[in-house]
Amino acid sequence: MSNIAVIGSGAWGTALALSFARNPAHRIALWSHSTGVANTISGTRENTQFLPGFTLPDSIQPTIGMAEALRGAEIVVTVVPSHHARRVYSNLLPLLEPSQILVSATKGIEDETYLRMSEVIAELLLTRSLTLPIAVLSGPSFAQEVAAGSPTAVTLACTDHDVAVHLQQAFTGPTLRVYTSDDVVGVEIGGSLKNVIAIASGIVTGLELGTNSAAALITRGLAEMTRLAIACGGRGETLSGLAGIGDLVLTCTGGLSRNRGVGIALGQGRTLPEVVAALHGKVAEGIRTTRAALGLAREHGVEMPITEQVAQILYDHKPPKVAMRDLLARPGRNE
């Protein structure tokens, strides 16, 4: 049996808690920063705000108390937006135990520092002289489908092989298959950058440019992701797996993709503030990750033309049609 603390009660955090609960031996604490969400889950056994339609079993205990969530937890899974990760982990630090394993299921890059989530965690642990294993979880996984029990495969990356295998055994269930990797960098870059490319893919759909354009954009988007991953110390083959092309295809083509939905709305002429307001508090990580990814790319001297055009659409009010034209007008090169 494992006691698992899931920190973050959005759609993805709730879905993971539901998946873990399919192993009857597990006990799961689901922490929410919102008293209203926690109370609703306690009273109705449903996360009506972020993941309606799914009943949470009694083995999932909602709480707003971080100390209560972490008490007795062997595995701590953080599922919070990237721009909240540093603050949440800063609050977690005094409560962590030396025997605990930390798992980041956040797909994003920190603003301004351009750090991956595992780097943010490691930096904060260092301030307390703590040494805890850090793993990351990523792959093609819509929250609604994981919650519904649709067969799903994901990647769990950790530099400590024994820890990775332990987590693989703890997380694998009747509908969730977990593969292990030691390429933390590649898995995190893949999980973060696919959201940016998904916005671009949505723009192509919103502009009604056709499936030829979408296929070309996804393929060249994968090339951008791979270049950056390798420059940061990851392996190219990781981007050919679940955390790379698997998650990319899902997020660029699936109807449940928030980031693709953002792109569709932009392609149809809506403004970014309108698009964000329509999310009703839910997060499309690609909006923030676009700027952070470009900062990281500049640090490593990596060219990312698709990401650059997405940034200009998001932040500089560039018309999407002009951005697509400029991509096509780039000088020819060898693939």
Residues carrying an active site annotation: 194
- Alpha-carbon distance of 79 to 107, in angstroms, equals 9
Give the whole-angstrom CA distance, residue 306 versus residue 221: 7
DSSP state, residue 116? B
The DSSP code sequence of 226-274 is HHHHHHTT--GGGGGSIIIIIHHHHHHH-TT-HHHHHHHHHHTT--HHH
Q: How far is CA 167 from CA 101, 110, 316, in A?
A: 9, 25, 43
Sign of CA dihedral 48, 52, 55, 58: negative
- Whether the Cβ atoms of residue 330 and residue 209 lie closer than 8 Å to each other: no
- For the CA atoms of 79, 247, 41, 284, what is the dihedral angle to 10 degrees? 70
**Alpha helices by DSSP H, 93-208:** 117-127, 143-148, 161-171, 184-206
